[in-house]
């Protein structure tokens, strides 16, 4: 069937989608979610069908095309195209197999990943794969195959260096900006550390959001390599790179479902590390009732899986189980966290000591993996000497930023102190509530929004003493955050 193209000027965010008039669809016995092949000259693309029942949207003889299809086939309005019925992707049979609880082979996993990367699966079909792996957890062997396939179907950063250091935190803890301290310490020590980081999903800030206060974080892989060769380190948003792209598409489906299949979490992290040629990897698993990993039993189980996969991938891997009961650092939100980082690197008295101690312990473990003695002392010396700060400024400048004093970082102009209703000792802090207050205040989309904490677990507090300050760039969001914090500030005092 020959039809005329109509650019819908809509992006699906991934899947290739075309919209047919219901009469044209009926002539080919096509239904919603069926596949068709669209061809223009020698270019052919297989797409998912949607059907317009209203003829005013797509007239008979036309075919509406989402941006991804227009771009792939290089089409313009009213270009002639030809369509034909296409079979569904092979990977759908393999997804059904996983739904039935069966194991997948290398070829089957590779086909699923290929179809994900090339947008051959609809969001619904991809969601079924995520659900299948969540319900019927992949074996270690399957997870390794998934990891390798994710890497194979993406770009790889190749560095003529050894060792190459990397680290990852499972996340779920407000603050916890260890990357922005560890990268300059290890780079100043002479080691390559090409760090790709994420933006926030449900937290007040991701590492990339915080780094973006100080420098650009979006670079192609070629520029990323230049930065590393020049400075030994970088802190770049992984979403701008084509490293294990299947992972980004899987995460996009997991986010609204709020599920995090263990096998996909493992494959996701290890694929990103493998794709930047890392040789020595430190994994941080915060454990606590409000963290992603709720208890030590679950943390130990996950630790063993990381170690198994790391061994199979021939990586040196160390897994730390850390305290995830409360926020790490004082600033919560991109600008407030960036200010903490600079204070810490500059050895300012206002620096967050809990964040500093955690970073030094993590660096000591990396040094131990490398066979370097007295790693704790070495990391502290690099901080105290100013070498880590100077290296961070070097990285910031290489990433098109400039040296900025912590005091010059702009934070929200609307602020309110939240005080304790009674005297006592802080015995618990609800991470979820702290994150929610900061997000209601505008973080991370408003860089200057968030919270600044004055108390942590174990600290004494007097009635009327500050627990934290809310900052917001928007009066409207500030009022919402203030009202929410009045009802529940997340601090338990007794």
Q: Which sequence positions are flagged as catalytic?
A: 260
- Cβ atoms 211, 180 nearer than 8 A: yes
DSSP assignment of 191-233: -BEEEEEPPPSSSS--HHHHHTTTS-----HHHHHHHHHHHSE
Longest alpha-carbon distance in the chain: 77
Q: What single DSSP character describes residue 239? A: G
- Cβ atoms 310, 317 nearer than 8 A: yes
What is the residue whose two structure tokens read 């970073």?
Answer: 359
Q: How far apart are the first and last CA of the chain?
A: 74
DSSP assignment of 383-442: HHTTHHHHHHHHHHHHTT-----GGGS---SEEEEEE-SS-EEEEEE-HHHHHHHHHHTT
What's the per-residue H, E or C state across 334-386? HHHHHHHHHHHHCCCCCCCHHHHHHHHHHHHHHHHHCCCCCHHHHHHHHHHCC
Count of alpha carbons within 13 Å of 441, Cβ hemisphere only? 33
Q: What single DSSP character describes residue 89? A: P
Residue 332: name the closest of 447, 416, 169, 418 by CA: 447
35-40 and 43-52: which strand pairing?
Answer: antiparallel
Q: What single DSSP character describes residue 276? A: T
Q: What single DSSP character describes residue 82? A: E
Count of alpha carbons within 13 Å of 429, Cβ hemisphere only? 26
Neighbours of 422 (CB within 10 A): 10
Q: Report the distance separating Cα 414 and Cα 231, nearest Å.
A: 38
Q: Report the distance separating Cα 48 and Cα 62, nearest Å.
A: 16
Sign of CA dihedral 5, 11, 15, 20: negative
- Cβ atoms 215, 394 nearer than 8 A: no
- Cβ atoms 178, 359 nearer than 8 A: yes
Residue 410: name the closest of 475, 462, 472 by CA: 472
Cis-peptide into 372, omega within 30 deg = no
């Amino acid at each position: 069937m020959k039809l005329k193209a109509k650019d819908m000027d809509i992006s699906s965010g991934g899947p290739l989608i075309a919209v047919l008039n219901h009469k044209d669809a009926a002539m080919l016995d096509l239904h919603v979610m069926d596949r068709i092949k669209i061809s223009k000259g020698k270019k052919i693309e297989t797409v998912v069908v949607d059907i317009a029942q209203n003829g005013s949207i797509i007239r008979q003889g036309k075919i509406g095309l989402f941006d991804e299809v227009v771009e792939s086939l290089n089409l313009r309005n009213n270009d002639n195209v030809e369509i034909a019925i296409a079979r569904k992707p092979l990977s759908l049979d393999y997804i059904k197999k996983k739904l039935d609880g069966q194991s997948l082979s290398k070829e089957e996993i590779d086909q699923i990943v290929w179809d994900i990367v090339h947008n051959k699966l609809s969001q619904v079909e991809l969601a079924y794969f995520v659900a299948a792996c969540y319900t019927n957890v992949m074996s270690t062997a399957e997870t390794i195959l998934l990891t390798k396939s994710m890497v194979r179907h993406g770009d790889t950063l190749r560095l003529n260096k050894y060792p190459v250091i990397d680290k990852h935190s499972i996340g779920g803890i407000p603050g916890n900006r260890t990357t922005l301290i560890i990268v300059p310490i290890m780079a100043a020590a002479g080691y390559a550390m090409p760090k790709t980081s994420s933006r926030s999903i449900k937290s007040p800030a991701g590492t990339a959001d915080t780094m973006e206060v100080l420098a650009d974080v979006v670079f192609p892989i070629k520029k990323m390599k230049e930065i590393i060769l020049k400075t030994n380190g970088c802190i770049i948003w992984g979403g701008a790179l084509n490293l294990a792209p299947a992972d980004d598409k899987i995460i996009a489906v997991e986010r609204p479902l709020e599920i995090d299949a263990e096998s996909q979490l493992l494959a996701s992290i290890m694929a990103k590390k493998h794709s930047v040629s890392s040789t020595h990897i430190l994994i941080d698993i915060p454990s606590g009732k409000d963290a992603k990993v709720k208890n030590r039993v679950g943390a130990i189980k996950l630790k063993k899986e990381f170690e198994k996969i790391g061994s199979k991938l021939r990586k040196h891997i160390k897994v730390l189980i850390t305290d995830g009961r409360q926020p790490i650092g004082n600033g919560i939100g991109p600008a407030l966290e960036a200010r903490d980082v600079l204070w810490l690197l500059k050895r300012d008295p206002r620096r967050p000591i809990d964040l500093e101690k955690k970073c030094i312990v993590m660096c000591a473990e990396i040094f131990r993996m490398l066979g370097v003695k007295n790693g704790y002392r070495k990391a502290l010396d690099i901080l105290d000497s100013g070498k880590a700060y100077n290296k961070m400024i070097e990285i910031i400048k290489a990433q098109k930023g400039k040296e900025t004093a912590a005091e010059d970082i702009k934070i929200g102009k609307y602020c309110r102190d939240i005080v304790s209703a009674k005297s006592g000792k802080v015995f618990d802090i609800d991470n979820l509530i702290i994150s929610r207050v900061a997000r209601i205040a505008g973080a991370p989309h408003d860089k200057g929004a968030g919270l600044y904490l004055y108390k942590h677990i174990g600290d004494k507090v007097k009635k009327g003493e500050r627990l934290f300050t809310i900052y917001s760039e928007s009066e409207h969001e500030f009022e919402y955050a203030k009202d929410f914090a009045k009802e529940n500030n997340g601090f338990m005092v007794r």
